[in-house]
A and B are shown apart, each in its own frame.
Chain A
Amino acid sequence: MFIAQGISTMSAKQASVHAKWIIGRVIGTKMLKTAKVRVTRLVLDPYLLKYYNKRKTYFAHDAIQQCTMGDVVLLKALPEPRSKHVKHELVEIVYKVGRVVDPFTGLKVEGTQFLEPFADLADDLDKKMSLSDKIPEVDSSASSSTASSLEPRTP
């Protein structure tokens, strides 16, 4: 009896899990060099046909223990499971809790407010003062309207 044995061809190292890249929020850091991460995925309710968040916890290897509770992190699947539960590793902290950075301006941000002022705002004010010195006939109403347009936008 000839039993054919199938050999799985692995061109590149296959990860051990289905989820290769995931984003989640850190909910526990009490384990040594391991972060407990809660990942939410949208799942369709079959009757209501509406999407709801479904949570799942993953454990991620964090060698330098740089995570704190509440960070939003990006995880990558390890080629082999590190232990019975740890199958992912931390790639980067996307949003550090309390120190979220706006990706466009690079300034620290809290909710809908900027914590740091714009870098070019002071320069603009100086320029405006020099202009008003140079052109004394400029209407006070016109200068006040230009000043209001340069204020940082606050929704």
Chain B
Amino acid sequence: MPMKGRFPIRRTLEYLQKGDLIFKNRVKIMTVNYNTSGELSEGARKFVFFNIPQIQYNNPWVQVVMFKNMTPSSFLKFYLDGGEQVLVDVEGKDHQLITQHVKKILCKSEEVLHVEALAKMQESNPANFGPKKYCLKECICEVEGQVPCPGTTPLPKEFTGKYRTQMAAAQE
């Protein structure tokens, strides 16, 4: 079954995850003002069409609001924590230029992203066992190839503690 609509690739998880605009923690709201007609707004319209889903997917806690045909100029406005506002003129710019500019001014840099990814990996260390909230597995019996949980299948006689003590007592 083919995908429906114009550019249905925008509606794939792979496309959404590929977005590289990850805002800094200070950015809370993103507002896009653009016009539905006119050449100057073309870049902004493409930005909204292609890049906004990626941005919202990668920044689930940022509120993204779109305003159409409110002013003749098209712009982006970011509202940061602490009341600061950032105004970005977008008139006549290509959507890729816009993404590059926004990435330069308001997104986490590559190094910061690397550090965060490393920290996440350390948290999910497969060598640690414990509650589901902090570790991947709760007991080694859940790992494939290990002795299964005695709660589900009884252990062979030789593995049980009481058999071993019996054998040890018989030997002495």
Q: What is the interface of chain A mostly: helix, strand, loop, or mixed? A: strand
A111 touches B (CB below 8 Å): yes
Residue among B28, B41, B81 with most chain A CB within 10 A: B28
Partner of B70, one of A40, A95, A155: A95
Residue among B12, B13, B37, B65 with most chain A CB within 10 A: B65
Distance, CA A113 to CA B38, complexed state (A)? 12
A124 touches B (CB below 8 Å): no
A6 touches B (CB below 8 Å): no
B170 touches A (CB below 8 Å): no
Chain B, interface size category, equals: 20 to 34
Chain A residues within 8 Å of B71, by CB: 100, 102-103, 109, 112
Partner of A100, one of B41, B64, B70: B70
Asked if residues A109 and B72 are in contact (CB atoms below 8 Å), the reply is yes
Distance, CA A105 to CA B73, complexed state (A)? 10
Segment touching B, from A17-25, A27-35, A128-136, A137-145: A17-25
With both beta carbons as reference points, the residue of chain A lying nearest to B30 in the complex is identified as A23
Chain B residues within 8 Å of A155, by CB: 35, 37-41, 72
A48-B11, A102-B72 known; A23 and B31 CB under 8 Å?
yes
Asked if residues A21 and B81 are in contact (CB atoms below 8 Å), the reply is yes
Distance, CA A56 to CA B69, complexed state (A)? 23
Chain B residues within 8 Å of A39, by CB: 63
A21-B81, A23-B63, A103-B87 known; A51 and B70 CB under 8 Å?
no
Segment touching A, from B49-57, B106-114, B129-137, B142-150: B49-57
B101 CB, min distance to chain A CBs, angstroms = 16
A95-B67, A109-B72 known, 18 other contacts, Cβ within 8 Å: A21-B28, A21-B63, A22-B63, A42-B56, A42-B64, A49-B12, A94-B31, A100-B70, A102-B71, A103-B87, A104-B73, A109-B70, A109-B71, A112-B35, A112-B37, A112-B69, A155-B38, A155-B41
A-B pairs with beta carbons under 8 Å apart, 27 shown:
A20-B81, A21-B28, A21-B79, A23-B29, A23-B79, A41-B63, A49-B16, A50-B11, A74-B29, A94-B31, A95-B67, A100-B71, A102-B73, A103-B71, A103-B73, A103-B75, A104-B73, A104-B75, A104-B89, A111-B69, A111-B72, A112-B37, A112-B71, A113-B72, A153-B40, A155-B35, A155-B72
